[in-house]
Amino acid sequence: MRGSARELAVHLIRLSGGSGNVLEAIHCTTRLRLRLRDSSLVDEAGLSGMQEVQGVFFRAEQLQIILGSANVFKVHRQVVRILQDGQLTQQEEVQSAGPSESISPDSTAGSKRALLPYMFRQIVDAVSFFSDIVVPMIPLFVGVGLLLGLLSMMEAFGWAQPESVPFRTLSLLTGSAFQILAVMFGYHTAKRFGGTPALGAAIGVVMTRPDLLQVTGFGGAPISSENLLLTPQFGYPGAVIPTILAVLLMSLIEKCLRRILPSSTAVMLIPFLSLAAGGSIAILVIGPLTYELSSSLSSLLEVVFRYGSSFFGLLLGGIYSSVVVSGLHHGIQAIEIGLITNPDVGVNFLLPIWSMANIGQAAAGLAVYARTRDKALKKIALPASITAFLGITEPVTFGVNLKLGRPFLGAALGGAAGGAYVAYYQVAADSFGLTGIPMIAFTVQLGQLNLIHYLIGFLLAAITAFTATWILGVDKRLLKEQTSIGE
């Protein structure tokens, strides 16, 4: 990275309107996500012109800056430190000052966002809530998924017996990680909605108790009294959305109580009343209601998948990269969790389709590397493509394929072909998170045929995307250069 992570963080904050304009900073595997007070203060042109920035997007009031997996963690840490200090140092303000310091509220970016249809903005806002909650936990999901895949391979190939110490150790790690997911969902939801994170974590535990539905007589497996204090786990289907709704309700109650109760009693009464009222409604109303809704949604998706398999995979595999470009893909993960935790479904049949789309992006990037004579583009395309085969697609998508145009279309064709294949053979995963080569670990436990068809889909998506991109070419300027060189 050119310059230090601190220097880059300073420039990013300044071009985002200053430290006073940034309410919160989170990150995923490649993007720094800033929640802002006033998005019109952002200098998008200045951000896009930075060498370290691979792309800049607005979703709702969230600014997404693509830095790549190598830089995002370091820069995020520095951004958080700056925001905790409250402001930049005087020297940093002077060093980072430039012609773009003052941004007009009537900037072009603000005008474009104002023209977005109202309903679309509402959808983006709703999905961004899920994204903000799920994104901080992606490393945990990935770790759990790979641990589960490793356990599956150890059992399937006889690498270790279930009674052995290595197998039991990994089982304990995997089970503990799954159990903490409920707490983390509640914690991050409360933090996102302005409630007390600790109370949100408690609601997360409640909403995933194995005996939750038995309290209302709605169902659930019998739980013996000695097991009632077991650590929480996904005890009923669709635990993510109910937890988010329950914590949202509790946070609203908490905010209301803050306004009406005197400060002298707030310390004791607000946590008690918020947890008691919000938790009771969550158990008695939200739990049973969302149980039915989540089960119905998962079942509906399964029916569409089974009876419209090829078309279903063709469509989703073709458009998924466009969903990634929009920044809405993290919101889909709540649906994937609902599929896995639904006892009538129990698997994730969406992830293999997403994986085909990402493999298409990787193969299209390789085609660009092989097709172009531009040395600078070659240096970007090859490592970005390799990274995409390992599940991180933003560098090749934004840095190569989308920028050139035609390779992005070639990647979509590859994703559609691979998606149609894996959907036709009903390839599924037992987790979610990583795609591409690492996703092999998620397919092993569901049988050898499941793995074989995934690998065939992998090759089909890659070959189709590479061939289509090669035929379509890169961009006109580069094609002219190659033609003149050939002559």
Which residues are tagged catalytic? 28
Question: Which phi and psi angles does 230 have, rounded to 5°?
Answer: -65, 155
Cα–Cα dist 250/173, whole Å? 31
Which strands, in side-by-side order, build the sheet including 55-59?
A: 22-27, 31-36, 62-66, 55-59
Q: Which residues of 6-17 are buried (b: 16+ CB within 10 A; e: fewer)?
A: bbbbbbbbbbbb
Cα–Cα dist 156/154, whole Å? 6
Nearest CA to 22 out of 8, 40, 34, 5 is that of: 34
DSSP string, 164-210: SHHHHHHHHHHHHHHHHHHHHHHHHHHHHHTS-HHHHHHHHHHHT-T
Residues 452, 397, 4: CA angle, nearest 5 degrees: 120
What's 117's DSSP letter?
A: -
DSSP string, 227-264: GTTSPP---SS--HHHHHHHHHHHHHHHHHHHHHS-HH
Q: Strand, helix or coil at 474?
A: coil
Nearest CA to 13 out of 113, 84, 111 is that of: 84
Nearest CA to 155 out of 172, 167, 169 is that of: 167
Contact by Cβ (8 Å): 7, 70 = no
List alpha helices for 309-350, DSSP H: 309-326, 333-341
151 CB-contact burial (10 Å; exposed 0-12 / middle 13-18 / buried 19+): buried
Cα–Cα dist 414/325, whole Å? 17
